[in-house]
A = this chain, B = another copy of it.
Amino acid sequence: MNEYSVHKIIETIKPYITEIKGEINIKTTVRYIKPFEQVDEYSLDWINSNKKEKQLMAHNSKAKVIICDNEVEYNDTLKNDGKVLLCVENPKLAVALLGTHLFSEKYPEFFHPSAVIDNAAEIGKNVFIGANCTIGKCIIGNNVTIHPNVVIYNNVTIGDNVLIHAGAVLGTDGLGCERLVDGTLVKFPHLGGVKIGNNVEIGANSYIAKGALSVTSVGDGTKINGLCFIAHNVIIGKNVLITGQVMIAGSVEIGDNVLLSPGVVIREQVKIGKAAHIGLGAVVTKNVPDNEVWTGIPAKKFEK
């Protein structure tokens, strides 16, 4: 169990703090972020800015350290309870930062004995490989966590601080076919690989194919949720947020900071510009310029 002083909490989110309300008791410590109903005196609590009863929530919280916005007033009730308010513009972001840096589960350096790891795999430091994984001839960086039942084929390179959830499959064959005159499908060879950057997350039961003759790549900081399909030769930029059950067909290129909403389908070879947002369930059939919001089927620029 970790235990942090209020000073450590403040230090972690310092650039985002606009005001500290109340006095810091050096005896106050924080051990965890808990579900609302389980918050106790050792919890860090937080109040989302969109809540109506923010003042009341601050009064009722059992926590001593509360992240909230400036609208919550410091008064005798809070003072008598020895509470301190760390005010920020976006409390959810502050909690996300604290969760990531102080409270996320750390997995030890460990290869489960049931994992099948190719002798030629190059694996960095502080790597956790869960039960029943299969790891091919790969290069895996440092501080990587691989949950159970993940399968990584040969020729996959994974950066540092990557998190891969259960059942994901990386580096499988893509499926591009040519047809003979009699209809027979002839599969184009898939001889490329997969390159995953640093600080990437890949969700449970997701699928990433190797490139046909090149590399399917996922940029630094990109987060991919579960049941997503990333086809061969796809090139994904940095800090792209790919939500659940997204389908990205072959050779698609996705710029930095893009958001793909749940259930999006993208046609092969389409380019999605930087910081574009694609709406829920959209089917994207042509290139999307930078910074635009596209929705619908087929997807078009969304005008308010």
Contact = CB atoms under 8 A, between A and B. Distances in A.
A175 B214 CA distance: 29
A281 B297 contact: yes
B262 A265 contact: yes
Interface in A253-299: 256-257, 262-263, 265, 267-268, 275, 280-281, 283, 285, 296-297
Interface string A197-235: 000010111110101011100000111111101010000
A32 B188 CA distance: 14
B131 A134 contact: yes
Given A167-B167, A184-B239, A265-B262, A93 B35 contact: no
Contact of A207 (B134, B178, B205): B205
B165 A223 contact: no
Contacts of A205: 167, 169, 205-207, 227
Size band of the interface chain A makes with B: 35 or more
A238 interface: yes
A99 B191 CA distance: 10
Contacts of A99: 187-189, 191
A173 interface: yes
A32 B189 CA distance: 11
Interface stretch (A1-9, A21-29, A63-71, A145-153): A145-153
A10 interface: no
Nearest to A215: B35
Given A203-B175, A281-B265, A166 B209 contact: no
Contact of A241 (B36, B177, B192): B177
Interface centre among A34, A112, A131 (most CB of B within 10 A): A131
Interface stretch (A77-85, A120-128, A243-251): A243-251
A100 interface: yes
Given A149-B134, A167-B169, A186 B280 contact: no
A221 B184 contact: yes
A95 interface: yes
A172 interface: yes
Contact of A229 (B227, B238, B280): B227
A130 interface: yes
A69 to B, nearest CB: 14
Interface in A72-121: 90, 92-93, 95-100, 103-104, 112, 114, 116
Given A147-B151, A165-B169, A226-B172, A96 B132 contact: no
Contact of A187 (B35, B166, B201, B265): B201
21 contacts: A35-B215, A92-B178, A96-B177, A96-B189, A103-B189, A114-B116, A151-B167, A151-B204, A165-B173, A175-B203, A177-B241, A179-B241, A183-B238, A183-B256, A227-B227, A229-B244, A229-B262, A231-B262, A245-B245, A262-B265, A262-B268
